[in-house]
Chain A
Amino acid sequence: MFPGKQTLTALLLVLLLLPTGRTLAGDRCNRAWNWYQEGLGLSDNSTREAFCYQRALELCPDLVEAYTRLGEVYRNQGREKLALAVLRRGRIHSLTSNTFTREPGSGRVFIQPLVTSGEIYRRQGRYDQAAAEFQRALGVEPGSLFAQNQLQYIYKRQDRYASILPPRIQMMTTAIFARIPGMTLPKGGFLLDAQYQTWIQTAPAFEYQLADTVPFLPMDVPELDLPQEIPFNFAPLQRKSQVNLWVLGIRYGLTNNLTIGLMPKFFIRESEVRLEAWDEVATPEVSGFGDTVFMLKYRLYGERRNHLSIYNLLSIPTGDENANGQDKGIFRWIPLGSGSFDFTPGISFSSGRDPYTVQGNLQYRITDGVEVGDELDANLALIWPLNKAVNSLLELNYRWRGEARKKQRIILMKARPEFIGPSFDPVAAGAVEVDTWFTEKGGSTLFVSPGMQFTVARGLKLEVGVKIPVVKEDDGWQEGLVLHVGMTKTIF
């Protein structure tokens, strides 16, 4: 069955007209572009200029630039209601046009009706509508400087300060483990911080010295005819302990260049004592306040993003240096403080380099060598903002610690292996306590420490980090992984 003659004629006409129609539309848009250019050539906000854009839009309704410019002309003529209507039409046409999906940079053209509408709302004092338009524009084109500029003004007029600045131009931040930055607090400013850290530390001990006043244990086993005094022999010893530390710090800016701070510490320390004879592990534990640190920091040099300070940390012996714990009959001194005033002079710097910040410090703790040895710390931190609320950090932390003399009590009880003579109860046989001093070996460790900081409210940061030991002395004082959780609140 063949189509009728009329149908064929109609099909032929449609085929002929399709390309012609496209050509006509293209020709109309070319002429519209000429009208648009003529309007731009006037650029005097005149009725004539408005007519040019109207004519352009009659010929080519998809010419979004003409809507934008016509809206601007109406706005500049004071006809704001009409301008908003034209811009609304422009936005609709821009959505239906496929021009903006295929041409590079088309986003900027697309957002022009939005930002111009927003700007008109601003003039009218309709801040909510203005902010909505600028936010919409930034959703399409985040780099629109005009929308950013207008939006910050709107926010300020509305007292909405929380979201104005991007992170790289906010105030400089402080690293997690290298906690002393080069900046000082502004006069009258407070910084509160709470930290929790936990780690396991091990240290070899050597050179036991028995106190002079303690007699040797008489070996009262007559049937074996043993000598009354025998010398002590100690196997190599390693002290291992789990430390949980809470630090509550408060710092205050006395002047712009002088900051003081007080940092009390609270410890829970648990030592691990392996009892080979009983195949058990005793874990004597102590808890209580440790030494309190008083900080005095002076900024030597400071301009906007580069700061250099010197400081001293005075360790006040508020911790009990005689703290002790017992477990399974095992007694152990686990000092919470050094028992002496220690000084830690240091120098620190911070340098902001958009978008990152570098911070470092170097400090040396001078002690009397009892309970706590001298210590050198060198820290370098790189702080990189990931977005408005999140900082990533990477630190290098080096610590060297000197030897320290520590007090220890050894409890001696009569005992012998079962294959030697008759058995007896060693506890009932009595014990002799021997107070000794031993030397705990120092050592050095280099850590790599990643971390994250989260800004959860104005001036309030939460932070997590971990110190990973990468270079350490096997036979020296060393820490394992150090886990850190903290919170800082800045109050200016």
Chain B
Amino acid sequence: MQNASLSITVLSMAVLVGLGTLVASAGPARATSLVPAMARPAIVMEDNAVFQNNRSGIRVRGSLPVAIRGGKVYQNGRAGINLQDQAETTVSRCEIFANHNAGINLRNATRFLLANSSIHQNGTGGLRIRTAAGRANHTRADVIDSRIFRNHQDGILSWPAGDSRVQLTVRGDRIFRNRKAGIRVENRTFFQAADNRIRANGTAGISSWSDGTSPPLLDIYRNTIAFNRGSGINVDSGITGKDAISNNWIHNNLRAGIACGILGSSRRRRINVRILNNTIVGNGSEVEGAGIRADVGSAVEIVNNIIAYNFTSGILTTDCDDYSHNLLFANGEAPNCCTDQGRIPFWVEKIQYASCPGRGSGGLITDPMFVDPDRYNFFLQPDSPARGAGKDIYGAGGLFSAGIDMGATGGPHGFREDRTPQGGTR
């Protein structure tokens, strides 16, 4: 069924529309809610197939809450769903694919929730969030339990301009095989990513960038970030929040596991990042390949990580400081050693730390004893030296004050042993 030109304007009434649709509402803009739950929808669009329209499949403007449920939106001439000007929209159980532009395009929308949906094979990315400079309101977007894959640009792009702000939460999603980054956040994006699988994207798994105004605020924890063609996490500009970059499995990305800054670039950038309790394994190729790389001018704290089998080195910092209590093993040309921490050949240490002297306090160079690294199972065996060797960075006297494991299983956000390591699929 096609309809290339029909559009319907609806004021404060529920609609069920099966064709190219414009939903608009009059009335004052609503303030952005800090509550995760969405407002009760005034308009519900359910079980529609919206396809092959010349312009967007569905376009929503104004602050009237709209819910789009269980539909298919595909092969439209612009975005599949276009949300503009204080739009407050929930999209759930939808499949949005093969649209000429983005799957979902947010432009100055106020509130957006995507849940249990698939966005794939769209022309300019899966979900694009843009806000104009000088807006009084900000955009809040939550992407929950959805699949965003094989889009022709970034899976998710957040791009607030000037002093506008986007609060983006991505949780429980599978984001894979997009041609550019899995998730790219820029400028004043308050970004939280947890429990996602971000795999095999064309550049970085997660990329953070700023045009020189304010860097993104990052909380990235308990994700699996693997097989991306760039770095697992690439922080060109960014500041971490309370959850930092923590408890992620980061493996087999084709550049660095976590890269802060750009090699050889002299552009000033703002990086203040904490990298805690990650398991970073087997990243890199001939192009680039440290487990964690912190380039010139970046403030990066690296604690309690397990970094093994990365291509060129384990931790590569220009200042040779701000790291401690990390376990490194078999990075670069350093061979599989060492059982006696007091007798580690210096050259092994030097390669692991990319020519920097010293391991920092509490640093280990030894086999972390993963359960099954061949199958990407990086949980620790019971007698792993990384168990209980981490530094207490979560508050003295607390539940995790003593005996914190190094790696992604340690600390309050740590993967628990009864969870599968998510290494099976790409």
Contact = CB atoms under 8 A, between A and B. Distances in A.
Contacts of B316: 304
B335 A41 contact: no
Interface residues of A, number: 40
Given A159-B336, A303-B318, A149 B350 contact: no
Contacts of B252: 149-150, 153
A189 B319 CA distance: 22
Contacts of A159: 335-336
Contact of B150 (A40, A146, A188, A253): A40
B229 interface: yes
Contacts of B147: 43-44
B254 A123 contact: no
Contacts, number: 105
B110 to A, nearest CB: 31
Given A189-B346, A492-B346, A303 B97 contact: no
Contact of B374 (A37, A72, A123, A169): A123
A166 B335 contact: no
A165 B333 contact: yes
Contacts of B309: 152-153, 156
Contact of A256 (B319, B345, B357): B357
Nearest to A156: B330
B425 interface: yes
B177 A43 contact: yes
B311 A152 contact: yes
Contacts of A125: 374
B149 A149 contact: no
Contacts of A145: 229, 254, 285-287
A161 to B, nearest CB: 5
A148 interface: yes
Q: How large is the interface on B (under 10, 10 to 19, 20 to 34, 35 or more residues)?
A: 35 or more
Contacts of A76: 424-426
A40 B311 CA distance: 31
Contacts of A304: 316, 318, 354-356
A492 to B, nearest CB: 3
Given A45-B425, A303-B319, A188 B345 contact: yes
A187 interface: yes
Contacts of B335: 159, 161
A148 B346 contact: no
Contacts of A399: none
B347 A165 contact: no
Nearest to A164: B333
B189 to A, nearest CB: 27
Interface in B273-289: 282-287, 289
Contact of A40 (B121, B330, B345, B357): B121
B111 interface: no
A34 to B, nearest CB: 12
A72 B426 contact: yes
B375 interface: yes
A286 B336 CA distance: 52
A28 interface: no
Contacts of A302: 355
Nearest to A172: B355
A166 B346 contact: no
A409 interface: no
B346 A188 contact: yes
A84 B393 CA distance: 46
A186 interface: yes
Question: Which of A40, A123, A153, A164 has most B Cβ within 10 Å?
Answer: A153
Contacts of B4: none
Interface in B330-369: 330, 332-333, 335-336, 345-347, 350, 354-357
Question: Which of A45, A78, A152 has most B Cβ within 10 Å?
Answer: A152
Contacts of A45: 425
B375 A123 contact: yes
Contact of B312 (A122, A156, A165, A186): A165
11 contacts: A41-B120, A41-B150, A148-B254, A148-B285, A159-B335, A164-B311, A186-B350, A187-B357, A256-B346, A303-B320, A492-B350
Interface of B: 97-98, 120-121, 147, 149-150, 176-177, 227, 229, 252, 254, 282-287, 289, 309, 311-312, 316, 318-320, 330, 332-333, 335-336, 345-347, 350, 354-357, 374-375, 424-426
Interface of A: 37, 40-41, 43-45, 72, 76, 78, 122-125, 145-146, 148-150, 152-153, 156-157, 159, 161, 164-166, 169-170, 186-189, 253, 256, 302-305, 492
Given A145-B286, A164-B332, A303-B355, 5 more contacts: A41-B120, A149-B282, A153-B309, A165-B332, A304-B318
